Structure 1
Amino acid sequence: MSLVPLGNYVFFLAQLQTFGYLLVYFGVLALRAGRVSDAMLAVPRSMSRTFLAIGFVEALASLLGFVGAANLPGVVLPLLSQTILLWQVLLAVTLLRKRLGPAQLLGVTLVCGGVCLAAWPAGGGSPLTGINPLYAAIFCFSMLFPALDTIFKERVFRQARQQLGTDLDLFVANSVGSLAQALFILLLLPLLTAARGMAAADLPAYLANGWACFQGLTPSCGSDCSGAPLLPVLYVLLNLAFNVSALELIRQAGNVAMSLTMSAIVPVTILAFTVPLPYLPPAPPLGPLFALGAAVLLTGLLLFNAPVWLPALSQNLKQWAASGSGGRAAAAMRPKLS
């Protein structure tokens, strides 16, 4: 919905999000000064190349993702975003030399099959009918960069654990990564403006119009900014809150809970786009295969993550069973009152 008023100012919205992240992450890091040691703060300097790579891929992911999403119906975004799993598998096999188990291979197959089923025309039609393949390809390609981002961050945390003997604070990694992302956004400005068919000299006027549209005013180009500033502000705040909550979830509960949460979000997001919402055009007709495809996709995600969450679930069930049997044994040993 945030792209409705700012659809003509995707680049402006991307920068608003980038620098908003920067302020929040460094603000939280400042509040955690007592918990973050000097040794942790020295980690980014010792791994400067990796952090620069993180900033570069995050900048590309943000910009390409916005360009693709601005020209696609919202209901297809949760489906197309699952191509990140394919990129993760490809990178894990080629760069990390990891071997996937049968459950993960089956999970990837089901995710691909679920996307195809959901997009297959049947009955009411397909949500992918009539979309521009170029923007769909751009959005799918943008998923490569978050996949690369996870590999670089995994390397940072692994090496930091070896240096520090403990885990690196998440906000150190994200603050410095966001700073590197903002740096690359500034460095890529000439290329980005050229890709939009805009001269560098026109950038100040574009940003001024974007700021006017963000405030809900009519810019000089006459673009319709209905819904601003409420929608874009809500988007930035909620997206920041989601990312901070996700970081806290990883810190408190580990990647098991994070993996399950992200898997559960997929069908919820798809359903959200089928609800009639203000400012959005009616959702495209969804055939009966769409629900089946979404279910298959979610099953594939759960299978792919099974090596992560299944052992934890088994351990919790054993602890529950042990506590239950202990409680029954204690009750049996209590003296009966006549």
Structure 2
Amino acid sequence: MPPLSRRFSAAGLALPVGQVRLQRAAGICGLPCGYSARRPMRLVAAASAAGGGAWVTSDVGGRKEKVGQCFYAVEDRKAAAADGGCHAVAGSGKRTAEVAAAVVATVVLGVGNRVLYKLALVPLKQYPFFLAQFATFGYVIVYFGILYIRHHAGIVTDEMLDAPKAPFIVVGILEALAAATGMAAGVVTVASGAGAGDSLKEGGMFWSLLMIVSFFLQAADTVLKEIIFLDSTQKLKGGSMDLFVVNSYGSAFQALFICLLLPFLSKLWGIPFSQLPNYLKDGAACFLNVGTLSSGCDGAPLLPLLFIIVNIGFNIALLHLLKISSAVVSCLASTFSVPISIYVFTLPLPYLGVASSLPTGFMAGAIILIIGLLIYAWTPSNGSSGASFSTST
């Protein structure tokens, strides 16, 4: 067998020596520091699933080096340091804690996002379409403002800003359609205003299917964003796309397609397109709680503003979780917040009047959902016990 394809066994893994391409998704070494995971170099890596590790020796010079729980051997230590300045993880616990904290933040903000959306529609019960458009175009201003600050501080590079825009266009389309279908389906639960105690039971089949379509579009959007982050690792030479670049361009194209879809969306919301300017003007007056229309807008502008602030935080937390984990983990975290939100609606919340009652079988469904999430989270993936590395000579 040729020397470069000679195999060593380390921590139960048979790893080829040579120009090894470390796959970022495998997470074998947990490289956290902008390391170019797809760039070939003479490197042998092994991770200990039990937290121990092992020495690995290169066939060139016989040099070996220990780096915490991740062990690797390189021809030149300075070359490894220059390649993205990578350093090994002191242990997988730090990475796990970071993901766990991001999951908790996403779940908490997800619950707050859903609850505050329903509360925001109490003063704006006649103007839900105004709230949707105000949020969509307001986010563009907020995200690009943050992006400008981060670019000025050097966190966002020109290379990130020059990334191909085609994926962001698709993101904008998916987000525009998801927002349109999701908000149209969610207005049903507050359409009758305060005292809608059985609102969770009154949604028709059409609105249920529309919400399912919305979730499908959101899932496709999440997967595409994960692909953007993974591709940027290679294109940015070990760097990673800043999440505010993704949020800003995605929101900008979402706003563009919302504008193109306005005739269709206004009809979907039951607003004649010719009356849309007057509708938006009246919605703004209710949002600000001023003028002759403010008598039925109690709770504005506080409740709508709280929803928008929490929604921005939720979007940032969700995208951060996606960036440091995967689309599956971020979707699971978002899903986990759904039964909690439904339970919160049964509590005596202000402005909602009589609390909603739980649908039949809710507890059984919620228990099955939570058990499934826990089983998935605690079951070790196949990649943890073995990994496949491609080699080249």
Q: TM-score if structure 1 supplies the norm length? A: 0.67
Query: Does the 8 Å CA contact 2:345/2:356 hold for their aligned counterparts?
Result: no
Query: Does the 8 Å CA contact 1:260/1:302 hold for their aligned counterparts?
Result: no
Select which of 267, 271, 275 maps to 1:194.
Answer: 267
Residues 200-209 or 277-286, more deviating: 277-286
Query: What is the CA–CA distance in structure 2 between the aligned matches of 1:15 and 1:192, rounded to whole Å?
Result: 11
Say if 1:263 and 1:285 are closer, same or farther in 2 by CA, change over 3 A.
closer
Query: What is the CA–CA distance in structure 2 between the aligned matches of 1:247 and 1:51, rounded to whole Å?
Result: 14
* Matched residue, 1:15: 133
* Matched residue, 1:61: 178
Select which of 159, 169, 174 maps to 1:39.
Answer: 159
* Matched residue, 1:224: 296
**Identical amino acids, percent of aligned pairs:** 41
Write the letter of the residue equivalent to 2:337.
Answer: I
Unaligned stretches of 5+ residues in structure 1 = 75-124, 316-338
* Matched residue, 2:325: 254
Q: Give the aligned CA root-mean-square deviation in angstroms.
A: 3.1
Query: What is the CA–CA distance in structure 2 between the aligned matches of 1:198 and 1:263, rounded to whole Å?
Result: 32
Residues 27-36 or 169-178, more deviating: 27-36
Query: What is the CA–CA distance in structure 2 between the aligned matches of 1:204 and 1:66, rounded to whole Å?
Result: 20
Structure holding more strand per residue = 2
Secondary structure (helix, strand or coil) at the match of 1:36 reads coil
From the CA coordinates, give the structure whose radius of gyration is larger: 2
* Matched residue, 2:232: 160
Query: What is the CA–CA distance in structure 2 between the aligned matches of 1:131 and 1:200, rounded to whole Å?
Result: 26
Unaligned stretches of 5+ residues in structure 2 = 1-118, 192-196, 386-393
Of structures 1 and 2, the one with the larger relative CO (CA 8 A, separation 6+) is 1
Say if 1:154 and 1:244 are closer, same or farther in 2 by CA, change over 3 A.
closer
Confirm or deny that 1:25 pairs with 2:147. Answer: no
Aligned length: 257
Query: What is the CA–CA distance in structure 2 between the aligned matches of 1:60 and 1:244, rounded to whole Å?
Result: 20
Kindly state the Cα deviation for residue 237 of structure 1 after the two structures are TM-superposed: 0.9
Query: Does the 8 Å CA contact 2:226/2:322 hold for their aligned counterparts?
Result: no
Select which of 132, 136, 140 maps to 2:204.
Answer: 132
Kindly state the Cα deviation for residue 277 of structure 1 after the two structures are TM-superposed: 0.7
Write the letter of the residue equivalent to 1:160.
Answer: S
Query: Does the 8 Å CA contact 1:54/1:152 hold for their aligned counterparts?
Result: yes
Kindly state the Cα deviation for residue 275 of structure 1 after the two structures are TM-superposed: 1.0
Say if 1:10 and 1:134 are closer, same or farther in 2 by CA, change over 3 A.
same
Confirm or deny that 1:237 pairs with 2:309. Answer: yes
Say if 1:165 and 1:306 are closer, same or farther in 2 by CA, change over 3 A.
farther
* Matched residue, 2:256: 183
Query: Does the 8 Å CA contact 2:176/2:257 hold for their aligned counterparts?
Result: yes
Kindly state the Cα deviation for residue 263 of structure 1 after the two structures are TM-superposed: 5.3
Structure holding more helix per residue = 1
Query: What is the CA–CA distance in structure 1 between the aligned matches of 2:381 and 2:245, rounded to whole Å?
Result: 30
Secondary structure (helix, strand or coil) at the match of 1:7 reads coil
Q: How does 1:1-338 map to 2 (within 5 A)?
A: 1-33=119-151, 34-43=154-163, 46=164, 48-72=165-189, 128-166=200-238, 167-217=240-290, 224-250=296-322, 254-255=325-326, 258=330, 261-262=333-334, 264-286=336-358, 289-305=361-377, 310=380
Secondary structure (helix, strand or coil) at the match of 1:283 reads coil
Query: Does the 8 Å CA contact 1:127/1:286 hold for their aligned counterparts?
Result: no
Say if 1:257 and 1:60 are closer, same or farther in 2 by CA, change over 3 A.
closer
> Deviations along 1:99-152, whole A, 9 cap, x unmatched?
xxxxxxxxxxxxxxxxxxxxxxxxxx9975333332222222211211121122
Kindly state the Cα deviation for residue 254 of structure 1 after the two structures are TM-superposed: 3.5
* Matched residue, 2:100: none
Secondary structure (helix, strand or coil) at the match of 1:278 reads coil
Query: What is the CA–CA distance in structure 1 between the aligned matches of 2:286 and 2:199, rounded to whole Å?
Result: 29
Kindly state the Cα deviation for residue 272 of structure 1 after the two structures are TM-superposed: 1.4
Query: What is the CA–CA distance in structure 2 between the aligned matches of 1:242 and 1:138, rounded to whole Å?
Result: 22
Residues 178-187 or 210-219, more deviating: 210-219
Query: Does the 8 Å CA contact 1:11/1:63 hold for their aligned counterparts?
Result: no
Say if 1:288 and 1:10 are closer, same or farther in 2 by CA, change over 3 A.
closer
Query: Does the 8 Å CA contact 1:8/1:223 hold for their aligned counterparts?
Result: no
* Matched residue, 2:108: none
Kindly state the Cα deviation for residue 250 of structure 1 after the two structures are TM-superposed: 4.8
Say if 1:286 and 1:248 are closer, same or farther in 2 by CA, change over 3 A.
closer
